Chain A
């Protein structure tokens, strides 16, 4: 039977590198497999990934992190969803929550009943029928209730945090599990006759060899592209945004338990409230606006004065053709990039880690491991991609060339079919794999005014039940504490 490999080298110490290091350190402890991470302070990290999705809680729990300690260490806030402003039409606002909308009425899914009620003018906006949306708008937060019969158990939550502090937190955890950290800049990659990476050389001449390499070197993909020439599937036709300005500012008013994404002239801006500041940025398409105008738009809509010089980042939507080649696995920005509209990057890092652990290679390097990893990650990236494109495709805006382009562009077949079925009769296409489930699709479709032409013939008599749901939500929200009052904060003395 094939033996175990002996060593892993992680190249890169951004969010991806340290998440991999912490997870491998934890899961490989006791196996005798050594884990090393090399990073270069001179190069630095992207470090703007600040908003997450609920799956991150499973990651933290699997690694045994205490929630309060983690939140205090990363200045984290709770996140119940994302508010989208100006996406369907200018002036619109809806929240995509981590939770469902309403409950079935008479065995018929709530959204069908809502569509019927709306026709007869008896419905409030769709997202009013969601508890986490009402909580977000009222700046309240509580952990979901344990009792599955309670309305307060029907949502999930994620975090908004300082990504560089998260990396630091993970580093401490990883080092405690025996992961070795090295400082140095990789200047050369050596391959053996099979095409496997055998070693990387640092600027000071040291050579680091290992059995498995994890490429977390960020956009440049030092190993996966630089040495192994994976190739890149570009999705810029559907996702033309290719740059971002990022800048922090002070929080103004209560700290909201949600992220905001505001559609602008040729892209959109995020606002992510942390405990000590708000992260802001503007993702834009350089083909539709110039950099200076984009920066002005961002600065013009900040809640307060900037706390640092704005930083510019450049990217191309897409993914590596193969994320695992030979003995090298790419995770994080080295593997691909989808704009942070639904906070999916850190989640895709997490999925990469979970699959790597599931398919952890053995010394015989069975190529099936890589093939299965690539099959699963391709599926995941494509399904996330379709959901992000939906936000653009489902717009009615025609006020700028950018919005005209995305409103009228041709769509991937997989998405076009889904939207056609929704438009015809309000059915959401579901898959076994794929992170965004029916409520997420409903949130965007109905939040952006894509209402089906037809009513489900079973729907019709739900007015009283729907009104009762609104009352139940309102009375539940009233009893919940404010978001700020439940934040586990850094103890000044310990800091």
Chain B
């Protein structure tokens, strides 16, 4: 099984590593265009905690310049400039029949001002600039953590490339295709490369898949930004263990704290910057060519999805590695799952825009309450009774959704009737106990700077 992986950045390195480890003979074809293959969003990537659970992440050595992530801090998205934190890991604990979100709702009904996410160890540790890896011991409070990572894209690509043997060839100059299939790749040295499967990891242009499957579904109506501008600044201070995503009148900006460097990406509707269109390819696998990363779908990284999505796509290709020229069954399944997963990731990103509190600003007023039927259903149910439906291929957990919607200031209209069996006093005592336990645990955690120094020494 010969697989040509085309592209220069993390997306191609990731696909190459995953497919080579699955037993394919991988040939990496550069395009000399640079970029990550995950969208023109800059040289820093947030790996959400699920990344960490993969075989690939387990095999990676420490990556120079990486830093740890306990969550993402948001500012300017909710009304009154209110900031909030999306923690990685568990939030609070249920009390008998009532969920922790209900504990919060009950406390609020009693007049206490508190936030759901404040009851995550990750939130408290992030505030204190502390970090520890999750503990496998379920009795330890550290077991409630889930770890994310901020990666410098190039160093991550190098580390991934070193993971598995792949053959490198001269850069791509032309794609030969006929009858809905790639016939060959013409390389800079004149060679014709023929493979059983062509993986397009070239980014939003889709230099291979664009010939076979040009259809693109745009999400500009709900995710209006279309220009990205990147600035990197050297940093001597120890980085905070979280990225910072702040909204303003004209768009939003992501600040990702790498070890030694701070990368800021601004996302705006118009003006200078690299253009992109949030959306996805209508069919990401057609004929003998499959797209992953931004070639399959572009979602600006407001919830850090691109790297995780590319991993899922690479793993999916590995599980569906074709064994015959007719790849239509594989393509159908890949397209079904990839589209559903991208749509769910889109809805999570759109949720921030749909629930924004920037009243009186045209960009934000236009985006409010937009979104798919599924997203509307999620928001309606949450507003009604604090319930979050999880759909097939959902990327976020229920706690993630609640932290986001709670942070944005959505408040359920009703309490859970089953909670009536638990007294207000018991609810208050439970919340107090949880807070004490969290604070005690944070005090025991080492600083993020110390943990990073140790990681750096190992890399």
Q: Which A residues contact B (CB, under 8 angstroms)?
A: 1-2, 4-5, 27-33, 107, 357-362, 364, 366, 368-369, 372, 375-376, 417, 420-421, 424-425, 427, 429, 431-433, 454-458
Which residue of the partner chain, among A28, A33, A421, contacts B333 with CB atoms under 8 Å?
A421
Q: Which residues from 85 to 103 on chain B have a C-beta closer than 8 Å to any C-beta of chain A?
A: 97
Which residue of the partner chain, among B21, B24, B387, contacts A358 with CB atoms under 8 Å?
B387
- The minimal Cβ–Cβ distance linking A267 to chain B, given in whole angstroms, is 33
Q: Contacts A27-B97, A107-B55 hold; do A360 and B323 have CB atoms under 8 A apart?
A: no
Question: What's the Cα separation between A366 and B383 when bound, in Å?
Answer: 11
Q: Which residues from 356 to 414 on chain B have a C-beta closer than 8 Å to any C-beta of chain A?
A: 380-381, 384-385, 387, 389-394, 413-414
Once the chains bind, are B384 and A357 in contact (CB under 8 Å)?
Answer: no
Once the chains bind, are B385 and A366 in contact (CB under 8 Å)?
Answer: yes
Once the chains bind, are B414 and A2 in contact (CB under 8 Å)?
Answer: yes
- Residue B421 is within 8 A (CB to CB) of chain A in the complex: yes
9 A-B contacts (beta carbon < 8 Å)? A28-B418, A32-B420, A359-B387, A372-B389, A421-B332, A424-B329, A427-B333, A455-B323, A458-B22
Quick one: closest A residue to B24, CB to CB?
A457
- The minimal Cβ–Cβ distance linking A244 to chain B, given in whole angstroms, is 34
- The minimal Cβ–Cβ distance linking A57 to chain B, given in whole angstroms, is 19
Once the chains bind, are A421 and B22 in contact (CB under 8 Å)?
Answer: no
- Chain B residues within an 8 Å CB radius of A376: 389
- Chain A residues within an 8 Å CB radius of B415: 1
Question: What's the Cα separation between A368 and B381 when bound, in Å?
Answer: 7
Once the chains bind, are A1 and B413 in contact (CB under 8 Å)?
Answer: yes
- Chain A residues within an 8 Å CB radius of B417: 4-5, 31, 33, 360-362
- Chain A residues within an 8 Å CB radius of B416: 360
Quick one: closest B residue to A360, CB to CB?
B417
The secondary-structure label for the interface of chain A is loop
Q: Binary interface profile of B, 30-44, with partner A (CB < 8 Å = 1, else 0)?
A: 000000000000000
Quick one: closest A residue to B380, CB to CB?
A368
Question: What's the Cα separation between A37 and B336 when bound, in Å?
Answer: 46
Question: What's the Cα separation between A212 and B272 when bound, in Å?
Answer: 60
Quick one: closest B residue to A109, CB to CB?
B319
Quick one: closest B residue to A28, CB to CB?
B418
Question: What's the Cα separation between A359 and B418 when bound, in Å?
Answer: 10
Q: Contacts A368-B385, A454-B324 hold; do A29 and B333 have CB atoms under 8 A apart?
A: no
- Residue B188 is within 8 A (CB to CB) of chain A in the complex: no
Quick one: closest A residue to B109, CB to CB?
A1
Which residue of the partner chain, among B380, B387, B421, contacts A31 with CB atoms under 8 Å?
B421
Once the chains bind, are A457 and B321 in contact (CB under 8 Å)?
Answer: yes
- Chain A residues within an 8 Å CB radius of B238: none
Once the chains bind, are B333 and A2 in contact (CB under 8 Å)?
Answer: no
- The minimal Cβ–Cβ distance linking B385 to chain A, given in whole angstroms, is 7
Question: What's the Cα separation between A456 and B1 when bound, in Å?
Answer: 11
Once the chains bind, are B418 and A31 in contact (CB under 8 Å)?
Answer: yes
Once the chains bind, are B414 and A362 in contact (CB under 8 Å)?
Answer: yes
- Residue B322 is within 8 A (CB to CB) of chain A in the complex: yes
Once the chains bind, are B1 and A457 in contact (CB under 8 Å)?
Answer: yes
- Chain B residues within an 8 Å CB radius of A432: 390-394
The secondary-structure label for the interface of chain B is loop
Interface bracket on B: 35 or more
Quick one: closest A residue to B22, CB to CB?
A458
- Chain B residues within an 8 Å CB radius of A455: 323
Quick one: closest A residue to B324, CB to CB?
A454
Question: What's the Cα separation between A32 and B321 when bound, in Å?
Answer: 58
Sample of 17 further A-B pairs with CB below 8 A, known A27-B418, A432-B391, A458-B22: A2-B413, A4-B417, A4-B420, A28-B418, A29-B421, A33-B417, A33-B420, A107-B22, A107-B55, A362-B385, A362-B414, A417-B332, A421-B333, A424-B330, A427-B320, A454-B323, A456-B323
- Chain B residues within an 8 Å CB radius of A425: 320, 322-323, 329-330
Which residue of the partner chain, among B22, B321, B414, contacts A366 with CB atoms under 8 Å?
B414
- Residue B23 is within 8 A (CB to CB) of chain A in the complex: yes
The 5 closest A-B pairs by CB, nearest first: A30-B421, A424-B329, A31-B420, A454-B323, A458-B23
A454, A455, A457 — most chain B CB neighbours (10 Å): A457
- Chain A residues within an 8 Å CB radius of B330: 424-425
Which residue of the partner chain, among A2, A420, A456, contacts B329 with CB atoms under 8 Å?
A420
- The minimal Cβ–Cβ distance linking B343 to chain A, given in whole angstroms, is 14
Question: What's the Cα separation between A366 and B417 when bound, in Å?
Answer: 13
Quick one: closest A residue to B99, CB to CB?
A358
Q: Contacts A4-B420, A433-B392 hold; do A372 and B23 have CB atoms under 8 A apart?
A: no
Quick one: closest B residue to A425, CB to CB?
B329
- Chain B residues within an 8 Å CB radius of A429: 333
Question: What's the Cα separation between A1 and B108 when bound, in Å?
Answer: 12
Q: Binary interface profile of B, 203-247, with partner A (CB < 8 Å = 1, else 0)?
A: 000000000000000000000000000000000000000000000
Question: What's the Cα separation between A101 and B95 when bound, in Å?
Answer: 37
Question: What's the Cα separation between A28 and B387 when bound, in Å?
Answer: 19
B320, B390, B394 — most chain A CB neighbours (10 Å): B320
- Chain A residues within an 8 Å CB radius of B24: 457
Once the chains bind, are A369 and B385 in contact (CB under 8 Å)?
Answer: yes
- Chain B residues within an 8 Å CB radius of A368: 380-381, 384-385
Question: What's the Cα separation between A417 and B393 when bound, in Å?
Answer: 18
Quick one: closest A residue to B384, CB to CB?
A368
Once the chains bind, are A427 and B319 in contact (CB under 8 Å)?
Answer: yes
- Chain B residues within an 8 Å CB radius of A420: 329, 332
Q: Contacts A372-B387, A421-B329, A457-B323 hold; do A360 and B418 have CB atoms under 8 A apart?
A: yes
- The minimal Cβ–Cβ distance linking B60 to chain A, given in whole angstroms, is 16
- The minimal Cβ–Cβ distance linking A417 to chain B, given in whole angstroms, is 7
- Chain A residues within an 8 Å CB radius of B109: 1
Quick one: closest A residue to B330, CB to CB?
A425
Question: What's the Cα separation between A169 and B421 when bound, in Å?
Answer: 25
Quick one: closest B residue to A455, CB to CB?
B323
Once the chains bind, are B332 and A366 in contact (CB under 8 Å)?
Answer: no
- Chain A residues within an 8 Å CB radius of B380: 368
B1, B22, B318, B384 — most chain A CB neighbours (10 Å): B384
- Chain B residues within an 8 Å CB radius of A32: 420
Question: What's the Cα separation between A360 and B381 when bound, in Å?
Answer: 13
Question: What's the Cα separation between A359 and B109 when bound, in Å?
Answer: 20
